[in-house]
Amino acid sequence: MKTGHGLATVGCILCAIASVAPGALPVADSSLPCQPEQLSVLIITGSNNHEWQSTTKVLRQACEQSGRFVVDVTLTPETLTVDSISKYDVLVSNWNAFGKGNLRWGETAEKAVEDFVRKGKGLAAFHAGSASLHDWAAFQEILGGTWAKGTSHGARSSFTVTFPTEHPVTAGIKDFETNDELWYNLANLHPSDSRKVLATAYCEITKKQEPVALCTEYGKGRGFMLVLGHDAKALQNEGTSELLLNGIEWAASGAVCVNNDNIKSGEKRQ
């Protein structure tokens, strides 16, 4: 499978927040031409029961090498404000508070994130980046499905990811095999007109297809959640890479460029 987005091998860990120029807010109508401007991404991390340092570095490098994104990282989500996140197009959670009690980001930060998405931007999360903030209803609603009480997984194993739903995020991606953790009994899958299950995988424990990737609409904005990405190696899987970067791009702009070569020509996945 040839993709426009590849995950690269990681060097040293980057923990500092880089300085980037504000990105223009993309038009959400996927029928319009691609915007040549790069999309601005803020990765939220600094607390996780997984190796967030290496996965953050993998994701940051992949986003930047794709040519579609400029990236900052914050280790302090509790400091987010309306002003501090206004220059970004999408926030990506690689954060959770396992072992730290019911840790929250605080009213100011959480309201800023809710307004950010509601007014037309995006929130994405991968793997354990969804596994927290269970008392924050808007966070759960935006992601559409999260790890919570009753969710579990078996031993890490190989399985095939399939795509039951046509969507800009998955257009052109073929079924792929990965070795990762496959969650089952994903929580917060309450009925929602806006939520779509974009990818599934067969779980040997439940004997059924389990959701792997979901997207939602929240106000004028969008949410994306990917179950995959347990560690740097899992995140570097080619199919996982393309799926995650496409999901981030869609959450940011409402559309996905076919590949980097088509950015100038303006071709989008419809």
pLDDT of residue 259: 52
Residue pair 241/14 in contact by the 8 Å Cβ criterion: no
Query: What was the pLDDT predicted at 261?
Result: 43
Distance (Å, whole) CA 106 – CA 111: 8
Please name each of the domains of the chain with its CATH number.
39-269 (3.40.50.880)
C-beta of residue 50 within 8 angstroms of C-beta of residue 181: no
CB atoms under 10 Å from CB of 5, counted, come to 24
Whole-number Å distance between alpha carbons of 17 and 99: 25
- What are the structure tokens assigned to 239, written together? 């199919």
Measured in degrees and rounded to the nearest 5, phi and psi for residue 63 equal -60, -45
Is residue 197 a contact partner of residue 213, using CB atoms and an 8 Å limit? yes
Q: Tell me if 138 sits within 8 A of 110, measured CB to CB.
A: yes
User: So what's the pLDDT on residue 37?
Assistant: 79
The pLDDT value recorded for residue 258 is 59
pLDDT, position 139: 93
Taking the complete model, does pTM exceed 0.85, yes or no?
A: no
pLDDT by position in tens, the chain (length 270)? 334 444 433 333 333 333 333 332 233 333 344 555 799 999 999 878 888 888 999 999 999 999 999 999 999 999 999 999 999 999 999 988 876 777 899 999 999 999 999 999 999 999 888 888 888 999 999 998 887 778 888 888 999 999 998 999 999 899 999 999 998 988 777 666 778 999 999 999 999 999 999 999 999 999 999 999 889 999 999 999 999 999 999 999 999 985 544 333 334 554
What's the confidence (pLDDT) of residue 109? 97
The answer to whether 225 and 124 have CB atoms below 8 angstroms apart is yes
Q: Rounded to whole angstroms, how far apart are CA atoms 257 and 140?
A: 27
Residue pair 147/93 in contact by the 8 Å Cβ criterion: no
